[in-house]
Amino acid sequence: MITNTSRLHVVDALRGFAIVSIMLLHNIEHFDFYYTPENIPAWIASIDTIIWDSLFFLFGGKSYAIFAFLFGLTFFIQSNNQEKRGKDFRARFAWRLVLLFGFGLINSAFFQGDILTIYAVIGFFLIPVAKLNNKTIFFIALFLMLQPYEWFSYFTALQNPIVDIADPVSWSYFGKMNPYIEGNSLIDTFIGNLTNGKIAVILWNWENGRVFQILALFMFGMLAGRKSLFVVSEKNKQFWIKTLIIASILFIPLYFIKNNLPNWIAFENILRPLLTIETSWTNIAFLLVLVSGFTLLFQLKLTHKFLNLFSPLGKMSLSNYIIQSIVGSSIYYGFGFGLYKYTSPTYGLLIGIVLSLLMGYFCHWWMKNHKHGPLEAIWHKLTWLGTK
């Protein structure tokens, strides 16, 4: 159990690091609108490729996973605080998820790739397992992380491997994005994102194994809270060192296999589920490298001051996530400046860096005068509505 009552600043910083990495990714992909501008010079195109591959290698499939992991940790901290007062947090948490879903719908209107609504729905599955013992939760989470549905699809495909299969269903919905993203109507963008776009993202998360993975990460985060893994101690330091070493060793063969699976398996209906499984495991291995590495560096005097700059951004992660969707869509979509037509990944990265610096400055200024971020304050007040 967490016995240190002080705020876990490393968790805030880690969450802030994740929000910045998401900002950079969203900018190079025009906030989910993949478009290659015309007449890009060859030298810029080569830099574009390096930037795209590097950022997705570092953060693609990992940044959202950090949020999922910390979501479970936060659930434990809040539950544990209420338990110390003799209260059961689960009903209040359910209401908190309903509020999060509302925030997610607002965010979805601007950015169809919203993850808040998905976290809100999947978060309800934490409620029935919250009182289970550590071992039971661990094995449930491990089972989910193994991607059981994809294994079912794989063994089903083995029965008839030659059958042609259709493209993922989500692709057809993503293909319908162009009219309302390119158009100059904000209302049409809202309608398109909340209907066609929402279906596309839900299907995409299911097709890519994210549903099982998110719930597993929620549970592992809850276990990390129970084990007090982010409290500074020599024992935890050794744990994170071992995690960093093991995860790094596992990542190398997993990454190699992921990149070579398409060369080894000719049948698409067999390849697709295996690639989903392999990609999921590869991302989790690198996620552990990022989390353990960040946690260890946060404890070093040499790097602590710099990494702690991410803390105010992490304390305001909900506000930052939604604000970046509003600002980003206004920059790139047709209803705003329409820069998707002119910005390749190189320029998107530069814009993302500038926005991240501005966001960081705003968060540092805000947190000097407020206990919560603007949307966090609203979420907090509504969460405890009806209590003294």
Please check whether residue 202 is in contact with residue 269, taking contact to mean a CB–CB distance below 8 angstroms: no
Q: Over 90: is that where the pLDDT of 373 sits? A: yes
How does residue 5 score in pLDDT terms, banded at 50, 70 and 90?
Answer: very low
pLDDT in the model for residue 4: 42
What pLDDT shows up at residue 354?
98
pLDDT > 70: what percent of the chain? 98
Considering the chain, what is the average pLDDT of its residues? Answer: 95
CA 239 to chain CA centroid, nearest Å: 24
The SS3 assignment for 316 reads coil
pTM of the model: 0.94
Tens digit of each residue's pLDDT (9 = 90 or more) over 317-367? 999 999 999 999 999 999 999 999 999 999 999 999 999 999 999 999 999
Q: Where are the alpha helices (DSSP H) in the chain?
A: 9-28, 42-59, 63-84, 90-110, 116-123, 134-145, 148-158, 169-174, 178-182, 186-192, 198-207, 210-226, 234-264, 268-298, 301-307, 311-315, 317-332, 345-367, 374-383
Mean pLDDT across 211-239: 97
Look at residue 188 in the predicted model and tell me its pLDDT.
Answer: 97
* Rounded average pLDDT over 108-134: 97
Q: What's the rounded mean pLDDT across residues 110-124?
A: 97
Instruction: Give yes or no for residue 158 having a pLDDT over 70.
Output: yes
- The Cα diameter of the chain in Å comes to 65
Q: Which of 70-79, 100-109, 154-163, 241-250 has the lowest mean pLDDT?
A: 154-163
The more confident residue out of 239 and 161 is 239
Per-residue tokens: 245: 């070493």
Token pair of 262 as six digits: 């398409």
pLDDT mean over 282-303: 97
Average pLDDT over residues 176-182: 93
Q: Residues 56-66: what's their mean pLDDT? A: 95
